[in-house]
């Protein structure tokens, strides 16, 4: 919710102040709220990026290496190619900086209770479509967690996300499907979120104090991730589950 894409690399190279450009793009307020009306998925489209647009290296891990591909828990992991109907526009995205934060979101659309893979894939594509409609290079989140606890790859971690206005640098974004002002996350969804948070914290050396929800960012004028998930996140961080 309430996200923004970053300026393109040529702007950065030209020395234009990043925040100035971001503010121009900050008018876009949609998260996954723009749908094209289609709920069918004709098949993945994931063409190779052309040579003029090389994929940047993944951000460094806590051990000094690089996580390639995106660190994902074993089992139930679905790659971007399983749901996306369009390729990312890399000229609209910046390389990811060293990871310092993880931020949790909901999609904030209408309540969503479907647990099947196809419905979840359609929902994620709707989000991507909305984000592309805002002029962003790809879906803004790096990971998406559905109601059945599947973890889906979103934007490649090699690229900075677009999920917290003005605060996307070094910030991994996780979106849980649903609207948690109007429903609660499923047990499977919370269990998967906890596992994914632990994995990312361990991989990138992110302390619990830097695991945030969207509304916890200073200046974030949003209710994201909704009352229920916000309460669950507060409880999770108070527990010993996240070391």
- By CB under 5 A, name the binding residues for Zn ion: 1, 105, 214, 224
Coil, helix or strand for 108?
coil
* Closer to Zn ion by Cβ: residue 58 or 165: 165
CA–CA separation, 172 and 15 (whole Å): 25
* Closer to Zn ion by Cβ: residue 115 or 181: 181
CB of 66 to Zn ion, least distance (A): 27
CB of 2 to Zn ion, least distance (A): 6
CB of 86 to Zn ion, least distance (A): 22
Q: What is the token pair recorded at 164?
A: 């917290």
CB of 55 to Zn ion, least distance (A): 26
* Closer to Zn ion by Cβ: residue 105 or 155: 105
* Closer to Zn ion by Cβ: residue 105 or 147: 105
Q: Give the CB-side neighbour count of residue 242, counting CA atoms within 13 A.
A: 28
* Closer to Zn ion by Cβ: residue 83 or 141: 141
CB of 226 to Zn ion, least distance (A): 9
List CB contacts of 129: < 8 A, sequence separation 6 or more.
34, 35, 36, 85, 86
Query: In the block, which residue shows the tokens 């190779």?
Result: 48
CA–CA separation, 158 and 183 (whole Å): 32
* Closer to Zn ion by Cβ: residue 100 or 202: 100
Q: What is the token pair recorded at 149?
A: 């606890």
Closest CA to 190 of 126, 234, 221: 234
CB of 168 to Zn ion, least distance (A): 12
Closest CA to 71 of 194, 196, 243: 196
Query: In the block, which residue shows the tokens 């900075």?
Result: 160
């Amino acid at each position: 919710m309430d996200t923004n894409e970053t300026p393109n690399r040529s702007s950065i190279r030209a020395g234009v102040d990043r925040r100035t450009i971001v503010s121009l793009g900050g008018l876009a307020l949609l998260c996954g709220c723009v749908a094209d009306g289609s709920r069918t998925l004709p098949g993945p489209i994931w063409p190779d990026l052309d040579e003029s647009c090389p994929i940047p290296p993944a951000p460094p891990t806590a051990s000094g290496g690089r996580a390639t591909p995106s660190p994902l828990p074993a089992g139930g992991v679905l790659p971007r190619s399983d749901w996306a109907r369009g390729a990312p526009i890399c000229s609209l995205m910046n390389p990811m900086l060293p990871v310092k934060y993880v931020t949790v979101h909901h999609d904030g659309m209408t309540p969503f209770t479907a647990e099947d893979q196809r419905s979840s894939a359609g929902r994620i594509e709707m989000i991507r479509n909305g984000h592309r409609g805002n002029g962003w290079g790809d879906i803004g989140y790096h990971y998406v967690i559905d109601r059945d606890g599947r973890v889906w790859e979103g934007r490649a971690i090699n690229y900075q996300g677009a999920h917290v206005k003005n605060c996307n640098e070094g910030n991994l974004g996780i979106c849980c499907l649903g609207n948690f002002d109007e429903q609660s996350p499923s047990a499977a969804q919370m269990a998967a979120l906890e596992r994914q948070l632990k994995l990312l914290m361990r991989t990138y050396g992110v302390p619990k104090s830097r695991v945030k929800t969207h509304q916890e960012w200073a200046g974030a004028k949003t209710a994201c991730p909704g009352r229920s998930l916000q309460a669950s996140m507060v409880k999770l961080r108070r527990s010993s589950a996240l070391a």
